[in-house]
Each structure stands twice: as C-alpha cells, then as structure tokens.
Chains A and B, each alone.
Chain A
C-alpha cells in the first residue's frame, strides 16, 4: 500500500495539498513527497501514527531522525510533522499560507477518486492561492501550470 492508501484505510482526516495536489489537478512536474494538511487533534494524529506504524516513520528534520512516538499528551504541542518512511516522505501541516487552518483548507477542498478511494484534495483556486503565498521558484512554476490548467478547464479543454 502507498502512503495515501494507508492514510485512507487508517481513517485519517486529511486533505492533499502542495505539489502532489498539483499532480492530481494535472500538473506535469514530479514531486518527491506527499504533503497533507490534517486535523492536529490527538485522535487524528494517533490514527496517522497507527497507519504508518509498519513503515518506520521518523522525524526527518531532526539530526538523529527520531522515531515517531506520539502520545495523547505530546500531540497537543505539534503544528507540523515532517516524516520520512520506508515508502516515501510525508509532510503534515496544520495551516496553509494563503488558505488558513485545517477547517478552511477542508472547506476549500474537493473530493477526487483515486484508485477507488475518495480523497480530499485542495481545490484549484485555493492551491493557486497557496502556491502564490509560498512564492518559491518551484511554486511560481506551479502557479503558471495551475493557471493554464484552470483556463483550459474553463475553455472546455
């Protein structure tokens, strides 16, 4: 199972954001990691940990790559999680620049069917806003692609 399948089957409440959301919308670039925005409540983070337990999730931003060991107590302190697993990198954030917190991100999302699963993905307009807010060189290229995709969709292309 890939990362997304694990999260869906594990009952994690999340929205695909970032570069991978661009891929879902039709962008042609290749991205290394899966970015999600999720509810950082203890129950959801513990579900995420359980979904990844057998693929060795570690905090990839810590020098000693500490294992992911969430408890109900330490979940409350977290805002972001940057994980590496045996099957790829997973970045979990609680806030998206240009869009807002998880409830706003969820509101700006749309449900897409991927490999027979219903997955929430950040909508095209919100993704363009988020990419514009980030404004790194790769975000600028993504904005150009996403705006062309929007025009092609509007034009029936």
Chain B
C-alpha cells in the first residue's frame, strides 16, 4: 500500500517537475545553439567585410543559413529541391479538411 502511494505521488508530483526541468534545459541548449549559429554567420560576414546585404537579410527575417546551404548546391540540386517544395505546397493546397 505504502509503495503504491509513493508511486502515485511520484507520477503525479515529482515526474512532471523533472520533465519540466529537462524540457527547460533542452530549450536552453537549443536557444544557445541557434544564437551561436547566428553569431557565426554574422562573424563570417564581418570577416568578409560584406555585412550590409547579409545583415539586411537577417533583419528582414531571411534564414541566411538556408541561403548558404543553397549556395553549396548545384543549380540542378536547387531546382530539384524547389520542385519538391512546390509539390508539397500544391498537395497541401489540394488537401481537404477532415
């Protein structure tokens, strides 16, 4: 009986607190990683002395890391990925609400 009560107490009170702490820690790590990513992009831009266009894009809300990834691809790869995104968008547009 005592074991059962302790188990219930753990599930109801202790486990959610542990889960919240773990989730907070995970989010913190994610936020730091994302901030680091942006810092690295800005640093790379500063090093190149080419900040204006890149900074304007970041401030506009463009994901510059996606542009950098795209520049590492061939024209064919860019078009294939664009076509895949377009196909997905068209499928979603045709989808019916359930």
Contacts and interface: CB of A to CB of B under 8 A. Distances in A.
Interface in A6-59: 23-24, 26-28, 30-32
Contacts of A121: 75
A156 B49 CA distance: 11
Contacts of A31: 82, 86
Interface in B53-81: 53-54, 56-57, 60, 62-64, 66-68, 70-71, 73-76, 78-79
B78 A24 contact: yes
Interface residues of B, number: 32
Interface size range on A against B = 20 to 34
A63 interface: no
B89 interface: yes
B75 A157 contact: no
Interface of A is mostly: mixed
8 contacts: A27-B67, A114-B76, A141-B60, A144-B62, A147-B56, A151-B53, A151-B54, A157-B44
B79 A148 contact: no
Contact of B44 (A28, A30, A144, A155): A155
Interface of B: 44-45, 47-54, 56-57, 60, 62-64, 66-68, 70-71, 73-76, 78-79, 82-83, 85-86, 89
Contacts of B76: 113-116
B71 A148 contact: no
